[in-house]
Amino acid sequence: MKRILVTGGAGFIGSHICEKLLDEGNEVICLDNFFTGSKRNIIHLMDNPYFELVRHDIIVPYFAEVDEIYNFACPASPIHYQFNPIKTLKTSLMGSINMLGLAKRVKAKIMQASTSEVYGNPIIHPQTEDYWGNVNPIGPRSCYDEGKRAAETVFFDYHRQNGVKIKVIRIFNTYGPRMNANDGRVVSNFIVQALQNQPITIYGDGSQTRSFQYIDDLLNGVFSMMKTPNDFTGPVNIGNPYEFSIKQLAEKIIDMTNSKSKITYLDLPQDDPLQRKPNISLAKEKLNWTPKIHLEEGLKITIEYFDKLLKNNKL
């Protein structure tokens, strides 16, 4: 049995990680400041004696004897990471330094949840890990993008300077049950709007493309990465290369929910990337990983999740 620390463990992705790690017989410490996470995401784990919930902010050092750390704490959607951009930057950078300091002290293996946002508004398609990105350093998204880039930097510096065992994954858009319905992310937005027969809001003309992976595919990538030999640090892209336009997504969700919603178009926010698609050759080669869940299959489960929340007045 390993003792594993999951930062951001009450969030969308973190809660699934906690659940899987417990299922595999590990002891889990879930650390969260509940900025965007919620107890509802982990309430079903609370009775498990091997699950410990700690209210803590990772910009403050934390100490525990652990074997592995999954560093997933950070608001992930523009509404939330722009609410207090300085705090976002602190969470990414100071939080990573604190967790790396802990990893160094207790010789734990540590994974960083990096992001496709490190590629910014990419000039190269699809994005490979050796592309350095096209990021605006002073824009409204920079607190997140540059924070995650700086976090990657300290991960690699701790690895080179102190021999810390690191695993860096660059996560592309992910969706599934336990996404926060109020954070403006496109899949949850569209589903909730469609289920309530409200207008579906598209920013821009809807021709911008995205690729989304279902949470279970991401989890397989996360755990495969953690198991790779120590000399493989990443960064490695974990995402679904299947690409479609935002308009196509809206139409599919309207269709799948039998909704009466109409599409309305709003202005595109500043620095919104027009296209984003992962090249996953490295993940295929090193992790023997490819995404398996089709968009419709994942959307069906996610629609059911939000439908249940709406029917129980729990949104």
Work out how close the CB of 287 gets to ligand NAD at its nearest, in angstroms, rounded to a whole number: 17
Tell me the β-bridge partners of 109: 68
Contacts to ligand NAD by CB under 6 A: 7-8, 10-14, 32-37, 57-59, 72-76, 91, 95, 113, 115, 171, 173-174, 180
Tell me the β-bridge partners of 203: 266
CA distances from 72 to 15, 27, 89 (A): 10, 17, 14
Given 62, 119, 144, 175, the catalytic residue: 144
Please, which contacts does 101-107 make with residues 24 or more away whose CB atoms are closer than 8 Å? Answer: 101/61, 102/5, 102/61, 102/62, 102/63, 102/64, 102/66, 102/69, 103/69, 103/158, 103/164, 103/165, 103/166, 104/158, 104/162, 104/164, 105/63, 106/64, 106/65, 106/66, 107/165
> Can 214 be counted among the known catalytic residues?
no
Work out how close the CB of 296 gets to ligand NAD at its nearest, in angstroms, rounded to a whole number: 19
Of 93 and 261, nearer to ligand NAD (C-beta) is 93
Of 180 and 279, nearer to ligand NAD (C-beta) is 180
Of 38 and 201, nearer to ligand NAD (C-beta) is 38
Work out how close the CB of 16 gets to ligand NAD at its nearest, in angstroms, rounded to a whole number: 8
Work out how close the CB of 61 gets to ligand NAD at its nearest, in angstroms, rounded to a whole number: 12
As a whole number of angstroms, the distance between CA 147 and CA 214 comes to: 25
Of 171 and 202, nearer to ligand NAD (C-beta) is 171
Work out how close the CB of 262 gets to ligand NAD at its nearest, in angstroms, rounded to a whole number: 27
Tell me the β-bridge partners of 54: 31
Of 182 and 265, nearer to ligand NAD (C-beta) is 182
Q: Are strands 244-245 and 51-55 parallel, antiparallel or unpaired?
A: unpaired
One-letter amino acid at 12 equals F
The angle at the Cα of 139, spanning 126 to 222, to the nearest 5 degrees, equals 45
Residues involved in catalysis: 144
